[in-house]
């Protein structure tokens, strides 16, 4: 019930978001007509269509995305015709008599009264074109829908969210109707009102058709209702996504939900610190929750019977997650230190990006990272859901009776986690282990971050969660586009140069060369990359403030900034040894085909 209230309130707040601007002319084009026969059917069509399309998009895969694209094209044509009829009926009659008749029927029925069916049809078109800014509340709804699958509850949440938006639009529409009525009492004002509305409708068609509603307006929404929504989500619903690094550090991150044409995982709106403590009461053995793996690595499948009497540490991770990589040295050390005392560690690899579902990629990562304990591949997210997990990384400590006794989310608190391992082993073995904490001196990407001076947060390149994109014109979705970098980047802004195809989770370079720039403030800069789809390696060069990185190069570049993308993984491109300040990172790819996913910092 509480989530329904949040959904409705989040919908109401969309009236304050710039993303509502492109569809306002469509809604206000009926403001001069009686609300019950015109405005209400339009809003009803918008609400129902948005709820249906959004529900299908979260679970329907690529076919739903393509169907929605065709629907958007049809809606744009519909509104273009409607706009022409409002702007100039005589001009439209001259060029396209049949289409104008259709447009006129959308405006009035045979009796000259507002057409309910026409208004509802316009509402359907509005619902197809409306792309609300994905703030924390909508992000929570969409990721929950993706995890739970197609069901009545998730569809109801989306419907309630759309009803909230319709409520605020109803207030605006009623107020606008009174204003239009007053203007129509002036001699000749009605014709001018229709022309103004027609021009506004056609302008909105152009804005939506060229993607400016996502490319430009979403950047304006960052300082809008996000803060209020986030406080509500933080207060009434637990955070979800990748946990960050310490118990007391909070780093602002993305507001968009992760969306793909496959399964989706929740992504935090604020990268919170590590969370520890007792989980909700466990109604039965937690060992049964480990069933559902799509593959096992380093071990045959482990069953509850084979794990009975063992202390089990379940570590949720994914191999491109920088937070997970920085916890690995401790998890590997615990396994080496306590395996002979009865500790079993199971790494549950739940993917974030599609390439992390490829078993060969995961096997290579497990080998390269030196992981020797059993790893379950959780491509279908069954184990994730069994544990009601919402974080990367997340550790669950299971005692010898099969019950969860402790959990920890994120990095940090390693000594406390190890104390729990020893305590549970002592219980199981009826003897005391030496009370000595494991000391780790990690290097490379596994080294602990410098949290005292990190001012840049995880940033996604795919349009679904992209923020702070600064190339002129914004991101073009799912189509090739020639980008250029602006003259100046502000802190945490980024830009593309060259021809790229930006999809929901990934940007692919189509031109022979291309680059990405990012204005950042952190010691370390990482970028998740993949080679060309053919598997051909892609060479690149990194510069910092236009110069070779020299001593500030990462483990995947040399002092001159050169490196090669050979596989799908996280690449450490910058590790600064000098004092930190705002710097401009640039990576130039020397051949086409590279795939870019996300930046992380430390």
Considering only residues 426 and 48, tell me which one the structure prediction assigns the higher pLDDT.
426
Burial of 579 (0-12, 13-18, 19+ CB in 10 A): exposed
Going from the C-alpha of 90 to that of each of 81, 94, 201, 463, the distances in angstroms are 13, 6, 18, 41
Distances (CA, A) of 602 to 11, 114, 407, 445, 572: 35, 59, 24, 9, 10
d(CA 88, CA 60): 41
pLDDT score, position 321: 87
Q: Which two tokens stand for residue 596?
A: 């870019």
Residue 588 has pLDDT above 70, yes or no: yes
Task: Output the pLDDT for position 583.
Answer: 95
Among the ranges 69-78, 296-305, 410-419, which has the highest mean pLDDT value?
Answer: 296-305
Query: Mean pLDDT, to the nearest integer, of 71-85?
Result: 64
Task: Give me 478's structure tokens.
Answer: 């799912």
Residue 461: is its pLDDT beyond 90? yes
Q: Quick one: pLDDT band at residue 246, thresholds 50, 70, 90?
A: very low
Both tokens of residue 298? Answer: 């380093």
Q: What is the mean pLDDT of residues 537-556?
A: 94
The predicted structure's pLDDT at residue 237 = 52
Residue 475 or residue 124, greater confidence: 475
Q: Which residues of 368-387 are buried (b: 16+ CB within 10 A; e: fewer)?
A: ebebebbbbbbbebbbbbbb
Pairing of strands 391-392, 241-242: parallel
Instruction: Report pLDDT for 443.
Output: 73
C-alpha dihedral sign at 157, 159, 161, 164: negative
Reply yes or no on whether the pLDDT at 552 is more than 80.
Answer: yes
3-state DSSP call for residue 175? helix
Residue 345 three-state SS: strand
CA distance 524 to 453: 11
C-beta pairs of 357-366 under 8 Å, 24+ apart in sequence: 357/262, 358/568, 359/294, 359/295, 361/319, 361/567, 361/568, 362/295, 362/297, 362/319, 363/297, 364/567, 365/319, 365/569, 366/297, 366/298, 366/319
Most confident of 164-168, 183-187, 225-229, 254-258: 164-168
Contact 519, 489 (CB under 8 A): yes
Question: What average pLDDT is seen over the chain?
Answer: 75
Tokens of 277: 């403590």
State the average pLDDT over residues 112-127: 68
pLDDT digits (tens, 9 = 90+) for 467-492: 999 999 999 999 999 999 998 999 99
Choice between 142 and 573, residue whose per-residue pLDDT is larger = 573
Biggest distance spanned by C-alpha atoms of the chain: 96
pLDDT band at 245 (very low <50, low <70, confident <90, very high): very low
Distance CA 351, CA 317 (A): 8
pLDDT tens for each residue of 488-510: 999 999 999 999 999 999 999 99
The CATH architecture that domain 275-446 belongs to is: 3-Layer(aba) Sandwich (3.40)
* pLDDT at residue number 584: 96
> What would be the CATH architecture of the domain defined by 451-601?
Sandwich (2.60)
Q: How confident is the model at residue 203 (pLDDT cuts 50, 70, 90)?
A: confident
Higher pLDDT, 283 or 51: 51
Residue-wise pLDDT for 278-332, tens only, equals 444 444 478 889 988 999 999 999 999 899 899 999 999 999 888 899 899 999 9
Local structure of residue 35 (DSSP, 8 states)? I
Instruction: Calculate mean pLDDT across residues 551-568.
Output: 94
Of residues 486 and 120, more confidence is placed in 486
Predicted confidence at residue 95, as pLDDT, reads: 46
Least trusted range by pLDDT, from 77-91, 278-292, 540-554, 576-590:
77-91
pLDDT at 217: 46
Query: Any idea where the domains of the chain sit in the sequence?
Result: 2-223, 275-446, 451-601
Which tops the pLDDT comparison, 478 or 453? 478
The contacts of residue 175 (CB under 8 Å, 6+ apart) are none
Region 252-258: mean pLDDT is 28
Higher pLDDT, 580 or 150: 580
Residue 137: the pLDDT is 54
Residue 271 phi/psi, 5° resolution? -75, 95
The confidence score (pLDDT) of residue 283 equals 41
HEC readout, 458-485: CEECCCCCCCCECCCCCCCECCEEEECC
**Model pLDDT, residue 62:** 45
pLDDT at 554 over 80: yes
More reliable by pLDDT, 399 or 118: 399
Decide if pLDDT at 454 tops 80.
yes
CA distance 583 to 166: 44
pLDDT band at 100 (very low <50, low <70, confident <90, very high): very low
pLDDT at 17 over 70: no
Q: Which residues of 415-443 are buried (b: 16+ CB within 10 A; e: fewer)?
A: eebbebbbbbbeebeeeeeeeeeeeeeee
Helices within 60-135 (DSSP H only): 62-87, 89-95, 97-107, 116-129
Q: How confident is the model at residue 353 (pLDDT cuts 50, 70, 90)?
A: confident
Residues 6+ apart with CB under 8 A from 79: 26, 122, 125, 129, 201, 204, 205
Judged against a pLDDT cut of 60, whether residue 459 lies above it is answered with yes
What residues contact 419, with CB distance under 8 A and at least 6 apart? Answer: none
Gap between the Cα atoms of 147 and 240, Å rounded = 12
Q: What is the pLDDT of residue 36?
A: 76
């Amino acid at each position: 019930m509480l989530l329904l209230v949040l959904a409705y309130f989040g919908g109401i707040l969309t009236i304050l978001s710039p993303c509502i601007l492109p569809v306002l002319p469509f809604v206000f084009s009926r403001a001069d007509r009686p609300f019950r026969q015109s405005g209400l059917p339009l809003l009803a069509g918008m609400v129902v269509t948005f709820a249906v399309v959004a529900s299908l998009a979260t679970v329907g895969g690529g076919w739903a995305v393509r169907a929605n694209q065709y629907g958007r094209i049809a809606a744009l044509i519909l509104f273009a015709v409607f706009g022409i009829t409002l702007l100039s009926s005589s001009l439209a009659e001259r060029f396209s008599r049949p289409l104008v008749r259709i447009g006129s029927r959308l405006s009035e029925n045979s009796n000259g009264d507002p057409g309910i069916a026409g208004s509802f049809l316009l509402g359907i078109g509005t619902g197809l074109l409306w792309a609300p800014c994905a703030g924390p509340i909508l992000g929570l709804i969409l990721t929950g829908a993706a995890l739970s699958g197609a069901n009545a509850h998730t569809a109801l949440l989306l419907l309630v969210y759309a009803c909230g938006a319709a409520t605020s639009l109803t207030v605006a529409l009623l107020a606008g109707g009174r204003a239009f009525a007053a203007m129509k009492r002036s001699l000749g004002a009605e014709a001018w009102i229709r022309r103004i509305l027609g021009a506004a409708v056609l302008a909105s068609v152009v804005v939506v058709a060229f993607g400016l509603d996502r490319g430009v307006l979403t950047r304006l929404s960052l300082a809008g209702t996000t803060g209020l929504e986030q406080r509500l989500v933080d207060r009434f619903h637990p955070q979800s996504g990748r946990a960050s690094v310490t118990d007391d550090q909070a780093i602002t991150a993305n507001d968009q939900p992760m969306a793909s044409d496959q399964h989706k995982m929740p992504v935090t709106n604020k990268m919170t610190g590590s969370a520890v403590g007792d989980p909700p009461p466990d109604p039965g053995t937690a060992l049964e929750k480990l069933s559902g793996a799509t593959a096992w690595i380093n071990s045959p499948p482990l069953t509850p019977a084979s794990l009975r009497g063992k202390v089990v540490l379940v570590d949720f991770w994914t191999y491109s997650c920088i937070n997970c990589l920085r916890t690995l040295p401790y998890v590997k050390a615990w396994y080496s230190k306590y395996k002979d005392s009865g500790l079993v560690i199971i790494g549950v690899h739940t993917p974030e990006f599609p390439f992390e579902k490829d078993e060969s990629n995961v096997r290579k990562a497990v080998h390269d990272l030196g992981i020797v304990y059993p790893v379950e591949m959780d491509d279908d997210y069954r184990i994730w859901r069994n544990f009601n997990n919402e974080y990367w990384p997340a550790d669950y400590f299971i005692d010898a009776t099969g019950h969860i006794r402790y959990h920890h989310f994120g990095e940090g608190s390693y000594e406390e986690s190890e104390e729990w391992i020893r305590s549970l082993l002592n219980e199981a073995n009826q003897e005391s282990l030496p009370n000595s904490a494991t000391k780790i001196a990690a290097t490379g990407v596994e080294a602990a971050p410098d949290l005292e001076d990190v001012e840049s947060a995880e940033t996604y390149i795919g349009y679904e969660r992209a923020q702070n994109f600064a190339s002129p014109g914004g991101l073009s979705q799912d189509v090739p586009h020639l980008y250029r970098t602006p003259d100046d980047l502000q802190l945490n802004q980024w830009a593309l140069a060259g021809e790229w195809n930006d999809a929901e989770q990934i940007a692919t370079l189509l031109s022979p060369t291309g680059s990405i720039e990012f204005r950042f403030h952190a010691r370390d800069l990482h970028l998740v990359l993949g080679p060309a789809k053919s598997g051909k390696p892609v060479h690149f060069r990194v510069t910092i403030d236009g110069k070779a990185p020299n001593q500030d190069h990462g483990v995947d570049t040399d002092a001159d900034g050169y490196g090669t993308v050979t596989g799908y993984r996280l690449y450490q491109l910058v590790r600064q040894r000098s004092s930190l300040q705002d710097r401009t990172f640039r990576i130039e790819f020397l051949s086409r085909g590279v795939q870019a996913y996300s930046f992380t910092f430390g």
